[in-house]
Structure 1
Amino acid sequence: MGSATVASTLAHMGERCTCMRDLKLLHAHAFRTHLHDHAVVLGKLFRFTAVSPLGDLRYAHRMFDQMPHPTTFFYNTLIRAHAHSTTPSLSSLFFNLMRRNDVFPDQFSYTFLLKSRSRTSPLTHNNDIHAAVFKFGFCRHLHVQNGLIHLYAYRGMTLLARRVFEDILQLDLEVDVVSWSGLLVAHVKAGELDIARKVFDEMPQRDVVSWTAMLSGYSQARQPREALEFFWDMRSAGVWPDEVTMVSVVSACASLGDLETGRMVHRFVEENGFGWMVALCNALIDMYGKCGCLEEAWAVFHGMTWKSLITWNTMMTVCANHGHANEAFNLFEWMVFSGVAPDSVTLLALLVVYAHKGLVDEGIRLFERMQRDYGVEPRIEHYGAVVDMLGRAGRLQEAYDLLINIPIPCNDVVWGALLGACRIHGDVDMGEKIIKKLLQLKPDEGGYYILLRDIYVAAGQNAEANEMRQAMLDSGARKNPGCSWVDA
């Protein structure tokens, strides 16, 4: 068999490869037949390792390192691979390496690089790539310009996204649905839903991305009814939803506590083959939990073949919020046994369980072990959970000492929770100390004056209560809606 025939066979098999084991066998055969540097053969094998979901990006790196003079195609493949990976910033590294090695980028180089930049946080030097697009003459490539629109869109930079959109029109290029969707996403990300809806209504053609962007915007803006209405409009228009669409729809049902619609959406998910999607199952667990249907939340959880950290956290949070302490503790043990490392959300859910169960000492021990045993730095939410735990148990001095020595910026919410605990336990002295802290943080908040006055009233200190009322009036602080002064 001639080398050309062998090369053609290897390239054909590489294109249809379905696992790394077969890929490595093909690669080994290419070495034995001296075809490991054959451009077409190497290209097919490299493409699978780098960009296929069944490939191995580390193996692709090793292949790349063995190439004496990789071409634009190979650089582009790695830039593309990292743009869709968990390490999008490495796309810029390979783009810069490409330039240093005098390998000229093409329009695909910029398209993939723009994709990676849109996923890199925080966005830095966003003008350098925009300038390079113009400098090297790629501004007449519509997909490159669309990449720029989406780069700015994902950061909510509406003025820059619209400027690129208008540049496309001035260049006599025909904007497509991708261009319009980018502009729509920009306004959604910026929270400009009215403008986004106007863009949506003006679109000559709409795809699943544009429908989903608008629907997600309503859901994230806490307009769940509008999100659900938009979903039914989408279905009436014959547009097939994707995973992102369905996650937003389920989230809208959770926000509304609309169990009937949530179950209907769940049936739609199962009947149309979305049930395997982890993010969607996580949203369903959360929805059932918020609707109080723990059995159905557990059914979704147990039905998942693969569980992400978010899955464990969501189910644990559902248990915590419903006071099912034993189930939450068992979940945590099962999670750790399964080799899943807990994060800050996991530990916060456990602290909430300890607080609700009254297991204060156990909760304090977990809080003290967070950084040492799990590498999780306590955040203000964790401090708040511990303060709540101590406050419920009447251990107000410990809670106060914790907040006085807190190594991170504290807020009025945590101090306010401790003041509420003082009211429950009638601790006037502690209440006075806390109100001083609160008035330093939010001097115009009248609700704190009212809480302290209630503490005075409960302790029979009516003179001090009246002084507190006068102090609030003199300071010009605002009363919260629903709060009123009631004469003792």
Structure 2
Amino acid sequence: MASTLTVSPARPLTAITTISQFPENPKTLILQQCKTTKDLNQIHAHLIKTRLVLNPAIAENLLESAAILLPNAMDYARSIFREMDEPDSSAYNIVIRGLIYKQSPHNAVLLFKKMLESSVEPNEFTFPSILKACSRLRALSESEQVHAHIVKRGFGSNGFVENTLIHVYANCGRVEVGRRVFDGMSERDVVAWNSMIAGYTKSECWEEVVKLFCRMRELGVGFDEVTMISVLMACGRLADLELGEWIHEHIEANRLKKNLLLMTSLVDMYAKCGEVDSARRLFDQMDQRDVVAWSAMISGYSQANRCREALDLFHEMQKANVEANEVTMVSVLYACAVLGALETGKWVHFYIKKKKMKLTVTLGTALIDFYAKCGSLDSSIEVFSKMTSKNVHTWTALIQSLASNGQGKRALDFFYLMREKNIEPNDVTFLVALVACSHAGLVDEGRSLFVSMSKDFGIEPRIEHYGCMVDILGRMGSIEEAYQFIKNMPIQPNAVVWRTLLASCKVHKNVEIGEESFRCITSLEPAHSGDYILLSNIYASVGRREDALRVRCQMREKGIKKPPGGSLIELDGVVHEFFSEDDGHAHLKEIYSTIEDMITRIKSAGYVPNPADARLDAEEDDTEASVSHHSEKLAIAFGLIRTPPGTTIRISKNLRVCTDCHNATKVISKVYNREIVVRDRNRFHHFKEGSCSCNDYW
């Protein structure tokens, strides 16, 4: 039956309205030429007028156009569906697919329920769609009910249905059920194997991914690029470089290097296995590099603590006009945090705001950690307060920020506030809370938290928690109690625990327990330079100079050298690195001249150099020059030269601040009227007006 569409001449003609004859089978017209809801309205009106709408096949074409092909036409599709007298399974399938496609999985499940109540039999196309809806909702109970319907109706051996079942169980956290489905399949093609491997990947069961891939190879099942992408991800997480290299050889042999996702996965695998240079060579060979590839390489540098290279690559990414995503930002912020690169990190934060990137839990937590590690505590708290969604990791990051920046009591206030908001602390939260107690001398609070973690939360203390308790007791001078605490530990103390006690013995001049601590360290592992220096300093502090020299001689005889002290300072977006008694910086002459003037001025204000902190091989008349050329003093001098008066100077260093530098920096802050923030290996020191935020308790 043919008919002519009438169109108002006042309106512009569309592709639909220029058709003079309406086809008897309008499928192509509806599905291919219908571009807008207005076009669909005109066709629908004609179909109603000619009663062609009563033809189920034509009505389903209308449904498909509205539900799936046209944007913002889902309500129209549902109105068409409601007008159908007895919609069959095909009509239901179209609307269910449309609801899933338009991000309404809950309504898709409700429609499936109505389908069953209306005694309309689902078919092999219904079940994968409804399982997809259940997967998106992580609706395990509903998935199990759908699975029962599948078995009851005889679709349990349909490969497409089985693959979707594997996916939904993995997404609902029941990957072992998905594995039972997989093992029960009569035939398994590469799609089935990929579904199971993807299920294990989703559940982060990396060892199972590798085992399944090895089984594929044993059985001679062919694998494809999809398989290799998942397996490379597992290789990276497991540091399985051997298998990763085998896949690389396979890619080379089969000329698959044009596959961008596959090459990106290969770069990520090498980076996560610590083979960052191999990753970079592959990265440089790639014809195309999307944001995922750039992010993988930047992340690789960050994870390998090659943070300056991470930032350099990020700058290259900017020049290449590749827009960063959340993963990029998290890696860059980590690099900025390690380097103490506050200005660069602030620019990243500005970029996040400018691009209107959502402040997710992961990104917000990275920002909190970055600001904290740059000593900018107010900014950390500001980011925390602006986050709409926070989890235990976010709270833990903030508590750690406060603890490491000398605000132990405030850190505990946030710990208790977290509990009021019914967020369960984890073992890391308790660890940073104990660190807060340690840095602030909160012994009773520390004891209470240590007992509470197992008693109230069922969290068994790890060796790190025991180490914190030793630190809390030792710092307060309860050396004997700390020693007995170690002896009574239900787990074997490691060298770190004994080293913690040794450090406290140095502060409180306890020779006997210090010697025992050193013996216990050497029985567990070879002592490093810091252990010898601590023991030597204990002897020196009680006047046993010969014993102090004997320990230092032992250190020399064994060829043990103290790692060079290094300090970083960021100026105008450039990170400058200094080492103790540095002789390689471009501005050394100016820096050493400033050092000389600085030492003279702070001596006049009461600073007395501490020769005990000189390098081991320094001659007696050279000890003062040695301590005055420590890396943080060089960095501070450079900061004084290159920044306007009153500007805060921020330093990051690789070792613990020595007593001499701590005393000197306090006086520098007063004499030069500067706030100086120093991040050492353990914590932050905020020097201002002659005092430090740690209250000389570090």
Partner of 1:217: 300
Distance 1:440 1:106 in 2: 56
1:487–1:467 CA distance, 2 compared to 1 (3 A): farther
Q: By how many angstroms is 1:153 displaced?
A: 4.0
Q: By how many angstroms is 1:98 displaced?
A: 3.2
Which of 12, 21, 35 is 2:120 aligned to?
35
Distance 2:617 2:512 in 1: 21
| Contact 1:447-1:478 within 8 A present in 2 as well | no
Partner of 1:306: 389
Report the secondary structure of 2:150's partner residue: coil
Which shifted more, 23-32 or 387-396? 23-32
Partner of 1:349: 432
**Which letter maps to 2:363?**
L
| Contact 2:395-2:418 within 8 A present in 1 as well | yes
Question: Residue 178 in 1 paired to residue 261 in 2?
Answer: yes
Which shifted more, 412-421 or 214-223? 412-421
Distance 2:365 2:384 in 1: 8
Which shifted more, 161-170 or 195-204? 161-170
Question: Residue 74 in 1 paired to residue 158 in 2?
Answer: no
Distance 1:148 1:355 in 2: 43
Partner of 2:560: 478
In our comparison, the structure showing a higher alpha carbon Rg is: 2
Distance 1:460 1:383 in 2: 32
Distance 2:299 2:553 in 1: 48
Partner of 1:272: 355
Q: By how many angstroms is 1:450 displaced?
A: 3.8
| Contact 2:210-2:231 within 8 A present in 1 as well | no
Which of 487, 490, 497 is 1:414 aligned to?
497
| Contact 2:536-2:552 within 8 A present in 1 as well | yes
Q: Deviations over 1:273-294 (max 9, x none)?
A: 3233210110001111112222
Identity %: 32
| Contact 1:187-1:193 within 8 A present in 2 as well | yes
Partner of 1:22: 107
Q: By how many angstroms is 1:481 displaced?
A: 4.3
Question: Residue 135 in 1 paired to residue 189 in 2?
Answer: no
Partner of 2:519: 436
| Contact 2:194-2:226 within 8 A present in 1 as well | yes
Distance 1:289 1:174 in 2: 42
Report the secondary structure of 2:125's partner residue: helix
Partner of 1:460: 543
Q: By how many angstroms is 1:297 displaced?
A: 1.2
| Contact 1:78-1:91 within 8 A present in 2 as well | no
**Which letter maps to 2:323?**
W
Q: By how many angstroms is 1:126 displaced?
A: 2.5
Partner of 2:246: 163
Which shifted more, 118-127 or 40-49? 118-127
Partner of 1:64: 147
| Contact 2:267-2:279 within 8 A present in 1 as well | yes
Which shifted more, 464-473 or 437-446? 464-473
Distance 2:192 2:401 in 1: 45
| Contact 1:15-1:44 within 8 A present in 2 as well | no
Counterparts of 1:191-210 in structure 2, within 5 Å, are 191-210=274-293
Partner of 1:46: 131
Distance 2:142 2:409 in 1: 44
Q: Which has the higher strand share?
A: 2
| Contact 2:209-2:231 within 8 A present in 1 as well | no
Which shifted more, 181-190 or 403-412? 403-412
**Which letter maps to 2:160?**
F
Q: By how many angstroms is 1:188 displaced?
A: 0.7
| Contact 1:445-1:478 within 8 A present in 2 as well | yes
| Contact 2:169-2:177 within 8 A present in 1 as well | no
Which shifted more, 212-221 or 118-127? 118-127
Question: Structure 1 stretches of 5 or more lacking a match?
Answer: none
Q: Which has the higher helix share?
A: 1
| Contact 2:274-2:304 within 8 A present in 1 as well | yes
| Contact 2:294-2:317 within 8 A present in 1 as well | yes
| Contact 2:97-2:129 within 8 A present in 1 as well | yes
Partner of 1:237: 320
| Contact 1:10-1:26 within 8 A present in 2 as well | no
1:291–1:167 CA distance, 2 compared to 1 (3 A): closer
- Report the aligned-residue RMSD: 2.9
Distance 1:125 1:232 in 2: 35
Partner of 1:249: 332
Question: Structure 2 stretches of 5 or more lacking a match?
Answer: 1-83, 565-614, 621-698
Q: By how many angstroms is 1:395 displaced?
A: 0.3
Which shifted more, 69-78 or 362-371? 69-78
Using the size of structure 1 for normalisation, the TM-score is 0.88
Q: By how many angstroms is 1:317 displaced?
A: 0.6
